[in-house]
Chain A
Amino acid sequence: MDVINSEATDETLIKNVCAGNSEAFVHLVRRYKHRVFALATRFARDFDDLDDICQDVFIKVYENIGKFRADAPFEHWLARITIRTCYDALRKRKKEKANVPLESIHNLIEDKSIEAKQAAEVARNLLEWGFAKLRPEERLVITLLELEDKSIKEIAEMTGWSQANVKVRAFRARQKLKRLLEKNNEK
């Protein structure tokens, strides 16, 4: 078994995880957790939800690491798992979120600089309210496209949907969101 430290390559760590070395898995988690958190934050309701989603992501990684093919970077594979886990979380809570009024939405993800960015908070709450009314696949696509700056091709690779499908979903999501925000403005 190779010597495991924080400088070991992904390949070495993965090989060791497959051999049952949990210390290697800890190193792998430590290396990639920030990216998983950054992406999952866009879909989580609060800190607990975020923690659960991220744990689910890494548990799936641990259980399926034997299936990882080294023909693409580990990061891409991890991003796909993260996106699918976030999508599952969105689908799970779709019902409970559907009827939440705008006034009751509080973004619980704390940001230390939030006081200085009140406008951003309002925008975030407004988007959160609109996103809650979208279908999970629409929300996923529009979040990745508009907030994470991913291309149609990248989203297609991450979700496993065709590029045409991603375009259609993005278009519908934008239209729906636009209607919702206009309706809200009129009120």
Chain B
Amino acid sequence: MDRLFLSVRSEKPDTAAIEEHFETRLMARLEEQRISQAFWPVWTWRLMPWFVTIVVIIAIGNAIYDPMRSSDLFATFTNGYEDFLTTSLLSGG
């Protein structure tokens, strides 16, 4: 077994051919990795204006079409009670 080890130990395979342009291949792989890792953060930021636009549209729509909206907190609470009284009177309840 020692002879086997000695024989293999003394022999070093020539890797010069595969070492050539290794840096280029490595940097290309690193770049590819960087792009794939950056995919979600980049697209999240790119889509951000669309999300903001949708939120603004919903907010405006809410403000325009909400009849109960009032700046008076007391009115907001009592509006519901007035509706209840009116319904009771009309229905005889």
A174 neighbours in B (Cβ, 8 Å): 1
Instruction: Looking at the assembled complex, report how far the CB atom of A116 sits from the nearest CB atom of chain B, in whole angstroms.
Output: 11
Count of residues in B whose CB is under 8 Å from the partner chain: 24
Q: Does A177 contact B (CB under 8 A)?
A: yes
A30 & B23 in contact (Cβ 8 Å cutoff): yes
Kindly identify which residue among B8, B15, B23, B27 contacts A120, using a CB–CB cutoff of 8 Å: B8
Instruction: Looking at the assembled complex, report how far the CB atom of B42 sits from the nearest CB atom of chain A, in whole angstroms.
Output: 18
Interface class of chain B by DSSP: helix
Interface class of chain A by DSSP: helix
B29 & A59 in contact (Cβ 8 Å cutoff): yes
B18 neighbours in A (Cβ, 8 Å): 37, 47, 50-51
Instruction: Looking at the assembled complex, report how far the CB atom of B57 sits from the nearest CB atom of chain A, in whole angstroms.
Output: 40
> Given the known A-B contacts A59-B33, A120-B10, A146-B5, are A41 and B26 also in contact in the complex, defined by CB atoms under 8 Å?
no
Kindly identify which residue among B1, B4, B12, B14 contacts A110, using a CB–CB cutoff of 8 Å: B14
Kindly identify which residue among B4, B10, B19 contacts A33, using a CB–CB cutoff of 8 Å: B19
A37 neighbours in B (Cβ, 8 Å): 15, 18-19
Q: Interface 1/0s, chain B 17-35, versus A by CB < 8 A?
A: 1110011011101100100
**What separation, in Å, do the CA atoms of A68 and B42 have in the docked complex?**
29
Instruction: Looking at the assembled complex, report how far the CB atom of A138 sits from the nearest CB atom of chain B, in whole angstroms.
Output: 14
In the complex, residue of chain A having the shortest beta-carbon distance to the beta carbon of B7: A123
Knowing that A55-B26, A109-B13, A112-B14 touch, tell me 9 more A-B residue pairs with CB under 8 angstroms. A29-B26, A41-B15, A51-B22, A51-B25, A54-B22, A59-B33, A111-B13, A124-B8, A147-B8
